[in-house]
Chains A and B, each alone.
Chain A
Amino acid sequence: MLPILGLLTGIILGLLFRVPVPAWMARYLGIALLAALDSALGGLRAGLEQKFNEKLFIGGFLANTTIAGLIVYIGDNLGIEIYLAAVVAFGVRLFQNLAIIRRHYFQIHHWE
Chain B
Amino acid sequence: MGSDIKTFRFQALIAIALMLFGFGLVTQLRSREQLSERLTAQSEPDLVEIIDSLDGEIKAMRTELTDQQIRLVSFRDNEAGNQAIINRTRGETTELKLLLGRDAAQGRGISIQIKDRQRLLTGFDLRQIIEEIRSSGAWAISVNGRRINERTSLWRDAGYVYVDGLKMRSDFKIEAVGDSDLLYQTITLPRGIRDKLDTLKGVSVRVRREKSLALPPIGVADQKVRQ
Contacts and interface: CB of A to CB of B under 8 A. Distances in A.
Nearest to A30: B28
Interface residues of A, number: 36
A6 B27 contact: no
Interface stretch (A54-62, A71-79, A85-93, A103-111): A54-62
A7 B8 CA distance: 16
A10 to B, nearest CB: 3
B21 A10 contact: yes
Given A7-B18, A7-B19, A26-B32, A43 B13 contact: yes
Interface of A: 1-11, 13-15, 18-21, 23, 26, 29-30, 32-33, 36-37, 39-40, 43-44, 47, 52, 54, 57-58, 61
B58 interface: no
6 contacts: A6-B12, A9-B22, A10-B25, A13-B19, A29-B28, A44-B14
B26 A10 contact: yes
B208 to A, nearest CB: 74
Contacts of A4: 18
Contacts of A2: 8, 11-12, 14-15
B15 A33 contact: no
Contacts, number: 101
A33 B19 contact: no
Contacts of A8: 22
Contacts of A9: 15, 19, 22
A6 B21 CA distance: 9
Interface in B20-43: 20-28, 30-32, 35
Given A26-B32, A32-B24, A33-B28, 17 more contacts: A2-B15, A3-B18, A6-B19, A6-B22, A9-B15, A14-B22, A14-B23, A15-B30, A18-B30, A33-B24, A36-B17, A36-B20, A40-B14, A40-B17, A40-B21, A52-B10, A57-B17
B30 to A, nearest CB: 7
Contacts of B32: 26
A30 to B, nearest CB: 6
Contacts of A19: 27
Contacts of A14: 22-27, 30
Nearest to A60: B17
Per CB-CB distance, the 7 closest pairs between chain A and chain B, nearest first, are A10-B22, A14-B26, A6-B15, A10-B19, A2-B11, A21-B31, A40-B17
A40 B25 contact: no
Contacts of B19: 6-7, 9-10, 13
B90 interface: no
A44 B10 CA distance: 8
